[in-house]
Amino acid sequence: MYKVRATKYGSQLYPGQAVFCNQRWGEGVYLELYFWLLQSDTHTVLVDTGMDRNVARSVNPHVVERLGDASGEFIIDIDPPDAHRGLGVHP
């Protein structure tokens, strides 16, 4: 039997109208960033590795350009490899 673990490692403030199909103009909506782990007594499967601060920094200019607003930047609270190690998974 596997346990499913979702771990939040960051967020992104996104324009409300992009999330709610042209509604909530002028509002920001936080989208949480997670990575997923499946664990059994014998196996660990990392489903989504997440993105670390370096990747977020390289992606952010493109996100900001596309959205036309710096509020869309990814905010990484903990780099996923550090969070993985905290869960006993050593990438």
In a domain, 44, yes or no: yes
Q: Is residue 89 in some structural domain?
A: no
What phi and psi values does residue 52 have, to the nearest 5 degrees? -85, 180
User: What pLDDT score does 41 carry?
Assistant: 92
Taking residue 38's Cβ as centre, other Cβ atoms within 10 Å add up to 13
**Residue 10: its pLDDT value, please?**
93
**Does 86 reside within a domain?**
no
39 within some domain: yes
pLDDT along the chain (91 residues), means of 10: 92 80 79 91 88 86 71 84 87 71
Q: Give pLDDT, residue 70.
A: 63
Instruction: Judge whether 85 lies within some domain.
Output: no
| In-domain check, residue 45 | yes
Domain count, the chain: 1
Q: Of 76, 71, 74, which Cα lies nearest the Cα of 18?
A: 71
Q: Is residue 47 part of a domain?
A: yes
pLDDT at 78: 93
**Boundaries of domain holding 25:** 3-80
